[in-house]
Amino acid sequence: MNRISTFRAALVALLPLAAIALASPSHAQSPAASPAPAASPSPSPAPSATPVPPPAETKSPADSPAAAQTPAPPPTAPVQTADPFGEPFTLEPKKVVMLKGNANWDSAFDTLIEAFKTLTALLDKQGVKASGNPMIVYTSTDDTGFTFVAEIPVDQDVKGLGKNMSMGNSPDGNALKFVHRGSYDNMDNTYEAITNHLDDKKLEAKDTFIEEYITDPLKTAEDKLVINVYVPLK
């Protein structure tokens, strides 16, 4: 099936709350109270012969040793922010070794994994380390399958390239960034949400999209994948 399909998403509008200040009505001034009758003076007591000692000096809680040794409260855990969804992003071109291929949707992930394995084996054989995350660039799609370019960023030219391999640059330019977490098969939901987002914002995308595998697809369980999806804009 086609990876990019129509999906209706519910949008929740957050309405700001406005505070309304209410003025309190002024009250009439109450009449002044009549002065109480003066109490009859009582005889002053005779001065005491014994001197009264001054009161003992009191210390504030801060001066207490126990208070000084009270440990500070532990720092609060940082608040986890939500994954980007439609965040404007500028793609920078990277030198990559690439492998062109095509696949059917039924065996899409297996085909992509084989492409990454082929490129990784070539780099390992020549002792070349990847300088970035592996990527898949989808160049065309239809109901039965798609064509793609598997890319791995490198800092140097790679020799001994095999069939359908070449050196080049990754896509660049203005794009929108989305994040997918979970299995490759569940990416249909992500692309449906992306399509709906583009429709709502009336944005026109190019005829390609890019997946950057943040987790190593060769070592990570499929349901634990984290993939950045970039949609280049016209």
CATH of the domain at 178: 3.20.80.10
Tokens of 23: 């003025």
CA-based nearest residue to 170, from 103, 90, 112: 90
User: What are the distances in angstroms from CA 18 to CA 11, 15, 96?
Assistant: 22, 9, 53
Rounded Cα distance, 208 and 210, in Å: 7
Specify the DSSP class assigned to residue 156: S
Identify whether 161 is part of a domain. Answer: yes
pLDDT the model gives residue 225: 97
Provide the whole-model pTM: 0.66
Give the whole-number percent of the chain exceeding pLDDT 90: 62
Identify whether 133 is part of a domain. Answer: yes
- What is the number of domains present in the chain? 1
User: Could you list the residue range(s) of the whole structural domain that residue 112 is in?
Assistant: 85-232
Mean pLDDT to the nearest integer, 41-50 = 47
Identify whether 3 is part of a domain. Answer: no
Give the containing element (helix H, strand E) for 174: strand 173-181
pLDDT band at 130 (very low <50, low <70, confident <90, very high): very high
Identify whether 212 is part of a domain. Answer: yes
Identify whether 135 is part of a domain. Answer: yes
